[in-house]
Amino acid sequence: MVKRILAIILVLVILFTLGACGIRKKVDEKISEKITEGVVSKITGGKADIDFDKGGLTIKEDGQEVTFGGSEWPEGKAANLLPKLKKGNITSVISSNNLSMISIEGIDEKVFKEYIEELKDKGFENDISEFSDNSTKSYYATLDENAYVQVIYSVEDKSINISVQVNE
């Protein structure tokens, strides 16, 4: 009888300890969010709402939302102007409604050139500025007076950085 009681107590202690680990992680995350909110609020002078989700950080302030991190193609007014690049691995995203910056690895030069053609097909063919040397290729163009895109390709790293901005 004593052995059964000890076994039950031991199982309960183990279950409680394992359950507390998950709870502790959530509590630590919430504490980190609150501390970060305080710091961002002090810096910006407004109230910030911070959310750590899916490997990223979202800051919401005064009706604006900016997301840092993540590995998925962003959404929003600016990002929706871009053709979605389905090749490579997204390594970094910074996105708000009016601005998106996407870094992707595993892109060869042919894919870069094809993506530039897709941008042109979407209307990014005004005020074009291009640069090319042995290590870097870039493309800059406007859609209209309010939207522009810049794409930088690193030959050595086989990576691409895409930036799009919409001015209101």
Q: In this predicted model, what pLDDT tens digit does every residue of 33-85 receive, in sequence order? A: 565 556 555 555 655 555 666 556 666 666 676 776 777 888 888 899 999 99
Sign of the Cα torsion 122, 123, 124, 129 reads positive
Q: Percent helix, strand and coil across the chain, each rounded to 5?
A: 35, 40, 25
Residue 134, exposed/middle/buried by CB under 10 A (0-12, 13-18, 19+)?
Answer: exposed
Single-letter amino acid code for the residue at 42: K
Query: For the chain, how big is the Rg over CA atoms in Å?
Result: 23
Q: In this predicted model, what pLDDT tens digit does every residue of 6-38 receive, in sequence order? A: 444 444 444 444 444 555 555 555 655 565 556
Q: Under CATH, to which class is 70-166 assigned? A: alpha beta
Task: Identify how many contiguous H helices and E strands the chain contains and give both numbers.
Answer: 2, 9
